[in-house]
Structure 1
Amino acid sequence: MTTHLSDCQLVSPTLALHEAFEAFVDDFVLYDGPNSAEYLPCMANFSEYIRMLKREGHHSNRSNSAILCHHFWLYHAKTEHIYGAIRIRHPLGNQFLRTEGGHIGYHISPSYRQQGLGKLMLKLALPKAKELGIDKVLITAKEDNMASRAIIEACGGRLEEIVYGPILGYRIARYWINLSGEHNQ
Protein backbone atom coordinates (compact mmCIF):
# COMPACT_ATOMS: atom_id res chain seq x y z
CA MET A 1 0.00 0.00 0.00
CA THR A 2 1.44 3.34 -1.00
CA THR A 3 0.95 6.08 1.55
CA HIS A 4 -0.31 9.51 0.54
CA LEU A 5 2.69 11.49 1.70
CA SER A 6 0.75 14.72 2.09
CA ASP A 7 -1.37 13.09 4.78
CA CYS A 8 1.62 12.28 7.02
CA GLN A 9 2.78 14.54 9.80
CA LEU A 10 5.32 14.53 12.62
CA VAL A 11 3.68 14.04 16.00
CA SER A 12 5.07 13.83 19.50
CA PRO A 13 4.92 10.37 21.06
CA THR A 14 1.75 9.80 23.03
CA LEU A 15 -0.02 7.00 24.87
CA ALA A 16 -2.91 7.28 22.42
CA LEU A 17 -0.68 5.81 19.70
CA HIS A 18 0.26 2.67 21.62
CA GLU A 19 -1.35 0.28 19.15
CA ALA A 20 0.16 2.08 16.14
CA PHE A 21 3.60 2.07 17.75
CA GLU A 22 3.29 -1.61 18.57
CA ALA A 23 2.63 -2.32 14.88
CA PHE A 24 5.69 -0.19 14.01
CA VAL A 25 7.85 -2.27 16.38
CA ASP A 26 6.37 -5.55 15.09
CA ASP A 27 7.39 -4.56 11.57
CA PHE A 28 10.99 -4.10 12.75
CA VAL A 29 10.95 -7.46 14.54
CA LEU A 30 9.77 -9.19 11.35
CA TYR A 31 11.90 -7.41 8.77
CA ASP A 32 14.80 -5.57 10.46
CA GLY A 33 15.77 -7.47 13.58
CA PRO A 34 18.98 -5.54 14.34
CA ASN A 35 17.12 -2.21 14.55
CA SER A 36 14.21 -3.71 16.50
CA ALA A 37 16.46 -3.88 19.57
CA GLU A 38 16.11 -0.11 19.93
CA TYR A 39 12.33 -0.32 20.21
CA LEU A 40 11.56 -3.68 21.84
CA PRO A 41 12.24 -2.67 25.48
CA CYS A 42 9.57 0.05 25.31
CA MET A 43 6.83 -2.50 24.79
CA ALA A 44 7.20 -3.88 28.34
CA ASN A 45 6.02 -0.56 29.83
CA PHE A 46 4.78 1.75 27.11
CA SER A 47 3.58 4.51 29.45
CA GLU A 48 7.03 4.72 31.08
CA TYR A 49 8.60 4.77 27.62
CA ILE A 50 6.47 7.76 26.61
CA ARG A 51 7.37 9.57 29.87
CA MET A 52 11.06 8.88 29.22
CA LEU A 53 10.86 10.27 25.67
CA LYS A 54 9.15 13.43 26.92
CA ARG A 55 11.72 13.91 29.73
CA GLU A 56 14.58 13.68 27.22
CA GLY A 57 13.24 16.78 25.46
CA HIS A 58 12.88 19.05 28.51
CA HIS A 59 15.47 21.19 30.25
CA SER A 60 14.09 20.40 33.70
CA ASN A 61 16.26 18.00 35.70
CA ARG A 62 19.17 18.55 33.30
CA SER A 63 22.46 20.35 33.63
CA ASN A 64 23.43 23.00 31.11
CA SER A 65 25.73 20.51 29.37
CA ALA A 66 23.07 17.81 29.00
CA ILE A 67 21.98 16.68 25.57
CA LEU A 68 18.32 17.16 24.79
CA CYS A 69 16.57 14.70 22.52
CA HIS A 70 13.23 15.52 20.91
CA HIS A 71 11.32 12.52 19.56
CA PHE A 72 8.74 12.54 16.78
CA TRP A 73 6.82 9.88 14.89
CA LEU A 74 5.79 10.09 11.25
CA TYR A 75 2.08 9.46 11.60
CA HIS A 76 -0.73 9.06 9.09
CA ALA A 77 -4.02 9.91 10.81
CA LYS A 78 -6.28 8.30 8.19
CA THR A 79 -4.57 4.91 8.39
CA GLU A 80 -3.63 5.40 12.07
CA HIS A 81 -0.18 4.13 11.20
CA ILE A 82 3.30 5.17 12.35
CA TYR A 83 5.72 4.98 9.44
CA GLY A 84 8.86 6.32 11.07
CA ALA A 85 10.60 7.61 14.17
CA ILE A 86 13.02 10.52 14.23
CA ARG A 87 15.14 12.07 16.97
CA ILE A 88 16.65 15.55 17.12
CA ARG A 89 19.55 15.80 19.56
CA HIS A 90 21.29 18.96 20.72
CA PRO A 91 23.79 20.17 21.55
CA LEU A 92 26.34 17.71 20.23
CA GLY A 93 27.76 17.44 23.72
CA ASN A 94 29.82 14.28 23.44
CA GLN A 95 32.33 12.74 21.06
CA PHE A 96 29.91 10.08 19.84
CA LEU A 97 27.34 12.64 18.64
CA ARG A 98 30.00 14.97 17.21
CA THR A 99 31.57 12.16 15.19
CA GLU A 100 29.08 9.32 14.66
CA GLY A 101 25.56 10.15 15.83
CA GLY A 102 24.87 13.71 14.70
CA HIS A 103 21.85 15.87 15.47
CA ILE A 104 19.25 13.72 13.76
CA GLY A 105 18.69 9.97 13.67
CA TYR A 106 15.73 8.20 12.12
CA HIS A 107 14.17 4.90 11.10
CA ILE A 108 11.46 4.11 8.57
CA SER A 109 9.29 1.05 9.13
CA PRO A 110 10.87 -1.71 7.00
CA SER A 111 7.67 -2.52 5.09
CA TYR A 112 7.32 1.10 3.95
CA ARG A 113 10.84 1.92 2.79
CA GLN A 114 11.53 3.17 -0.74
CA GLN A 115 8.29 5.20 -0.83
CA GLY A 116 9.67 8.67 -0.07
CA LEU A 117 8.75 8.55 3.61
CA GLY A 118 12.32 8.99 4.86
CA LYS A 119 12.77 12.10 2.75
CA LEU A 120 9.41 13.45 3.91
CA MET A 121 10.19 12.77 7.56
CA LEU A 122 13.58 14.48 7.40
CA LYS A 123 12.10 17.47 5.55
CA LEU A 124 9.45 17.81 8.26
CA ALA A 125 12.09 17.54 11.01
CA LEU A 126 14.42 20.24 9.69
CA PRO A 127 12.10 23.17 10.60
CA LYS A 128 11.73 21.64 14.07
CA ALA A 129 15.53 21.56 14.40
CA LYS A 130 15.63 25.24 13.38
CA GLU A 131 12.98 26.04 16.03
CA LEU A 132 15.25 24.36 18.58
CA GLY A 133 18.03 26.79 17.68
CA ILE A 134 20.09 24.49 15.46
CA ASP A 135 21.39 26.42 12.44
CA LYS A 136 23.60 23.72 10.99
CA VAL A 137 22.50 20.09 11.31
CA LEU A 138 24.89 17.13 11.32
CA ILE A 139 23.35 13.93 9.97
CA THR A 140 25.28 10.73 9.56
CA ALA A 141 24.73 7.46 7.74
CA LYS A 142 26.59 4.21 7.40
CA GLU A 143 28.87 4.64 4.39
CA ASP A 144 27.21 1.82 2.45
CA ASN A 145 23.63 2.84 3.33
CA MET A 146 22.98 4.49 -0.01
CA ALA A 147 19.23 4.87 0.66
CA SER A 148 19.83 6.93 3.80
CA ARG A 149 22.56 8.94 2.11
CA ALA A 150 20.19 9.71 -0.80
CA ILE A 151 17.56 10.95 1.68
CA ILE A 152 20.08 13.26 3.36
CA GLU A 153 21.34 14.59 0.03
CA ALA A 154 17.77 15.15 -1.23
CA CYS A 155 17.16 17.31 1.84
CA GLY A 156 20.20 19.50 1.18
CA GLY A 157 22.90 17.50 2.93
CA ARG A 158 26.46 18.23 1.87
CA LEU A 159 29.01 15.49 2.45
CA GLU A 160 31.80 16.68 4.73
CA GLU A 161 33.80 13.48 5.06
CA ILE A 162 33.70 9.75 5.63
CA VAL A 163 35.23 8.62 8.92
CA TYR A 164 35.59 5.43 10.87
CA GLY A 165 33.22 5.41 13.85
CA PRO A 166 34.98 3.61 16.69
CA ILE A 167 31.83 3.20 18.78
CA LEU A 168 29.59 1.93 15.98
CA GLY A 169 32.46 0.04 14.38
CA TYR A 170 31.96 1.05 10.75
CA ARG A 171 32.62 3.87 8.29
CA ILE A 172 30.27 6.82 8.54
CA ALA A 173 29.33 9.47 5.97
CA ARG A 174 28.99 12.84 7.73
CA TYR A 175 26.63 15.39 6.15
CA TRP A 176 25.74 18.96 7.08
CA ILE A 177 22.51 20.78 6.28
CA ASN A 178 22.61 24.54 6.74
CA LEU A 179 19.29 25.83 8.14
CA SER A 180 20.33 29.49 8.39
CA GLY A 181 19.29 30.26 4.81
CA GLU A 182 22.87 30.65 3.63
CA HIS A 183 24.39 28.28 1.09
CA ASN A 184 25.89 25.09 2.45
CA GLN A 185 29.66 25.12 2.52
Structure 2
Amino acid sequence: MLSLELVDYCHIDKIQEFMNAINQSGEVFCGTGMLMNFQDDLTKYIQVEKKIHLGISEDSSLVPGTTLVCLENDEVVGFVNIRHCLNEFLLAKGGHIGYSVHPMHRKKGYGTWMLNKAIDYCKQKDIYPILVTCDKDNIGSRRVIEANKGKLETEGVTLRYWIGKENERL
Protein backbone atom coordinates (compact mmCIF):
# COMPACT_ATOMS: atom_id res chain seq x y z
CA MET A 1 0.00 0.00 0.00
CA LEU A 2 1.28 3.45 -0.93
CA SER A 3 1.58 6.18 1.65
CA LEU A 4 3.12 9.62 1.99
CA GLU A 5 4.82 10.50 5.26
CA LEU A 6 6.70 13.53 6.48
CA VAL A 7 10.39 12.82 6.09
CA ASP A 8 11.65 11.61 9.48
CA TYR A 9 14.56 9.92 11.24
CA CYS A 10 12.95 6.48 10.92
CA HIS A 11 13.39 6.77 7.13
CA ILE A 12 17.16 7.36 7.11
CA ASP A 13 18.21 3.87 5.98
CA LYS A 14 15.59 3.81 3.21
CA ILE A 15 16.53 7.34 2.12
CA GLN A 16 20.15 6.18 1.87
CA GLU A 17 19.06 3.36 -0.45
CA PHE A 18 17.07 5.82 -2.59
CA MET A 19 20.02 8.21 -2.67
CA ASN A 20 22.39 5.42 -3.74
CA ALA A 21 20.08 4.50 -6.62
CA ILE A 22 19.92 8.12 -7.83
CA ASN A 23 23.71 8.46 -7.59
CA GLN A 24 24.26 5.18 -9.47
CA SER A 25 21.89 6.32 -12.23
CA GLY A 26 23.92 9.51 -12.67
CA GLU A 27 20.84 11.66 -12.24
CA VAL A 28 20.41 14.90 -10.34
CA PHE A 29 18.37 15.07 -7.12
CA CYS A 30 15.05 16.78 -7.92
CA GLY A 31 11.96 16.99 -5.76
CA THR A 32 13.76 15.73 -2.66
CA GLY A 33 13.99 18.99 -0.75
CA MET A 34 17.49 19.63 0.58
CA LEU A 35 18.72 16.04 0.17
CA MET A 36 21.36 16.91 -2.43
CA ASN A 37 23.00 19.30 0.06
CA PHE A 38 23.16 16.78 2.91
CA GLN A 39 24.10 13.47 1.30
CA ASP A 40 26.83 12.93 3.87
CA ASP A 41 24.66 13.72 6.89
CA LEU A 42 21.08 12.46 6.64
CA THR A 43 20.38 13.34 10.27
CA LYS A 44 21.16 16.97 9.46
CA TYR A 45 18.98 16.66 6.33
CA ILE A 46 16.01 15.58 8.45
CA GLN A 47 16.65 18.41 10.94
CA VAL A 48 16.73 21.00 8.15
CA GLU A 49 13.58 19.61 6.50
CA LYS A 50 11.72 19.72 9.82
CA LYS A 51 12.70 23.37 10.27
CA ILE A 52 11.70 24.27 6.70
CA HIS A 53 8.33 22.60 7.32
CA LEU A 54 7.87 24.99 10.25
CA GLY A 55 9.03 27.97 8.18
CA ILE A 56 12.34 28.26 10.02
CA SER A 57 15.48 28.68 7.95
CA GLU A 58 18.78 30.52 8.24
CA ASP A 59 18.85 30.69 4.42
CA SER A 60 16.63 33.55 3.24
CA SER A 61 16.37 32.01 -0.24
CA LEU A 62 14.38 29.05 1.13
CA VAL A 63 10.61 29.15 1.42
CA PRO A 64 8.50 27.16 3.90
CA GLY A 65 7.82 23.70 2.54
CA THR A 66 6.96 20.10 3.26
CA THR A 67 9.01 17.12 2.11
CA LEU A 68 7.27 13.75 2.04
CA VAL A 69 8.57 10.27 1.32
CA CYS A 70 6.42 7.92 -0.72
CA LEU A 71 6.54 4.45 0.81
CA GLU A 72 5.42 1.10 -0.46
CA ASN A 73 6.04 -1.91 1.75
CA ASP A 74 8.50 0.12 3.85
CA GLU A 75 10.57 1.06 0.77
CA VAL A 76 11.09 4.66 -0.34
CA VAL A 77 9.82 4.72 -3.92
CA GLY A 78 9.80 8.50 -4.22
CA PHE A 79 9.79 11.97 -2.72
CA VAL A 80 7.47 14.94 -2.96
CA ASN A 81 8.58 18.45 -2.05
CA ILE A 82 5.80 21.02 -1.63
CA ARG A 83 6.74 24.69 -1.45
CA HIS A 84 4.11 26.66 0.45
CA CYS A 85 4.88 29.88 -1.45
CA LEU A 86 7.06 30.94 -4.36
CA ASN A 87 10.07 33.22 -4.57
CA GLU A 88 11.42 34.54 -7.89
CA PHE A 89 13.53 31.43 -8.52
CA LEU A 90 10.67 28.99 -7.85
CA LEU A 91 8.31 31.07 -9.97
CA ALA A 92 10.71 30.70 -12.92
CA LYS A 93 11.86 27.13 -12.29
CA GLY A 94 10.70 24.79 -9.56
CA GLY A 95 7.13 25.73 -8.82
CA HIS A 96 5.08 24.64 -5.82
CA ILE A 97 5.65 20.90 -6.21
CA GLY A 98 8.70 18.84 -7.05
CA TYR A 99 8.84 15.07 -7.04
CA SER A 100 11.22 12.24 -7.73
CA VAL A 101 10.59 8.55 -8.37
CA HIS A 102 13.17 5.84 -7.61
CA PRO A 103 14.80 4.79 -10.91
CA MET A 104 13.68 1.15 -10.41
CA HIS A 105 10.05 2.23 -9.92
CA ARG A 106 9.43 4.51 -12.88
CA LYS A 107 6.56 4.02 -15.33
CA LYS A 108 4.46 2.34 -12.65
CA GLY A 109 2.19 5.30 -11.83
CA TYR A 110 4.00 6.44 -8.67
CA GLY A 111 4.74 9.92 -10.02
CA THR A 112 1.12 10.48 -11.05
CA TRP A 113 -0.12 9.24 -7.66
CA MET A 114 2.37 11.38 -5.71
CA LEU A 115 1.56 14.55 -7.65
CA ASN A 116 -2.17 13.90 -7.19
CA LYS A 117 -1.70 13.58 -3.41
CA ALA A 118 0.51 16.69 -3.36
CA ILE A 119 -2.24 18.61 -5.16
CA ASP A 120 -4.70 17.44 -2.47
CA TYR A 121 -2.25 18.69 0.20
CA CYS A 122 -1.99 22.06 -1.55
CA LYS A 123 -5.79 22.36 -1.69
CA GLN A 124 -5.99 21.75 2.06
CA LYS A 125 -3.38 24.49 2.67
CA ASP A 126 -4.97 26.96 0.21
CA ILE A 127 -1.92 26.87 -2.05
CA TYR A 128 -3.74 27.78 -5.23
CA PRO A 129 -3.30 27.88 -8.20
CA ILE A 130 -0.43 25.40 -8.26
CA LEU A 131 2.66 25.81 -10.42
CA VAL A 132 4.52 22.64 -11.45
CA THR A 133 7.53 22.74 -13.76
CA CYS A 134 9.75 20.24 -15.52
CA ASP A 135 12.59 20.21 -18.00
CA LYS A 136 11.50 20.11 -21.63
CA ASP A 137 13.32 16.80 -22.15
CA ASN A 138 11.64 15.08 -19.17
CA ILE A 139 8.84 13.29 -21.02
CA GLY A 140 7.87 11.20 -17.98
CA SER A 141 7.38 14.24 -15.76
CA ARG A 142 5.49 16.01 -18.51
CA ARG A 143 3.05 13.09 -18.71
CA VAL A 144 2.66 13.03 -14.93
CA ILE A 145 1.78 16.74 -14.84
CA GLU A 146 -0.61 16.50 -17.78
CA ALA A 147 -2.31 13.44 -16.22
CA ASN A 148 -2.98 15.68 -13.20
CA LYS A 149 -4.67 18.35 -15.37
CA GLY A 150 -1.65 20.63 -15.68
CA LYS A 151 -2.16 23.32 -18.31
CA LEU A 152 1.00 24.34 -20.16
CA GLU A 153 1.62 28.07 -19.76
CA THR A 154 5.07 28.54 -21.28
CA GLU A 155 7.45 26.35 -23.19
CA GLY A 156 11.23 26.68 -23.25
CA VAL A 157 14.02 24.84 -21.51
CA THR A 158 11.65 24.69 -18.53
CA LEU A 159 7.98 23.89 -19.06
CA ARG A 160 5.61 25.74 -16.72
CA TYR A 161 2.25 24.15 -15.95
CA TRP A 162 -0.57 25.56 -13.82
CA ILE A 163 -3.08 23.35 -12.09
CA GLY A 164 -6.30 25.21 -11.30
CA LYS A 165 -7.19 28.82 -11.92
CA GLU A 166 -7.40 31.59 -9.37
CA ASN A 167 -11.14 32.03 -9.90
CA GLU A 168 -12.16 28.37 -9.63
CA ARG A 169 -11.87 25.70 -6.97
CA LEU A 170 -10.26 22.36 -7.70
TM-score band, normalised by shorter chain = 0.7 to 0.9
Deviations 1:137-169 (A, max 9, x none): 000011121110000000110111113xxxxxx
Q: Taking every aligned residue pair, what percent have the same amino acid on both sides?
A: 27
**Which range is displaced more, 175-184 or 40-49?**
175-184
In structure 2, list runs of 5 or more residues that go unmatched: none
Amino acid at match of 2:155: I
Residue 109 of structure 2 corresponds to which residue in structure 1? 116
In structure 2, C-alpha distance between the alignment counterparts of 1:71 and 1:119, rounded to whole Å: 17
1:54-69 correspondence runs (5 A): 54-60=50-56, 67-69=63-65
SS in 1 for 2:149: coil
User: Offset of 1:181 from its aligned partner?
Assistant: 8.9
1:28-67 correspondence runs (5 A): 28-35=22-29, 39=35, 41-60=37-56, 67=63
Residues 134 and 179, structure 1, Cα contact 8 Å, conserved in 2: no
Amino acid at match of 1:176: W
User: Offset of 1:106 from its aligned partner?
Assistant: 1.0
In structure 1, list runs of 5 or more residues that go unmatched: 1-6, 164-170
Residue 168 of structure 2 corresponds to which residue in structure 1? 182
Amino acid at match of 1:124: K
Work out which of the two has the higher radius of gyration on C-alpha atoms and give 1 or 2: 1
Residues 63 and 83, structure 2, Cα contact 8 Å, conserved in 1: yes
When normalised by structure 2's length, the TM-score is: 0.87
In structure 1, C-alpha distance between the alignment counterparts of 2:169 and 2:123, rounded to whole Å: 15
Q: Say yes or no: does 1:162 pair with 2:128.
A: no
When normalised by structure 1's length, the TM-score is: 0.80
Q: Structure 1 residues 49 and 161, CA, compared in 2 at 3 Å: closer, same or farther? A: same
Residues 68 and 90, structure 1, Cα contact 8 Å, conserved in 2: yes
Residue 84 of structure 1 corresponds to which residue in structure 2? 78
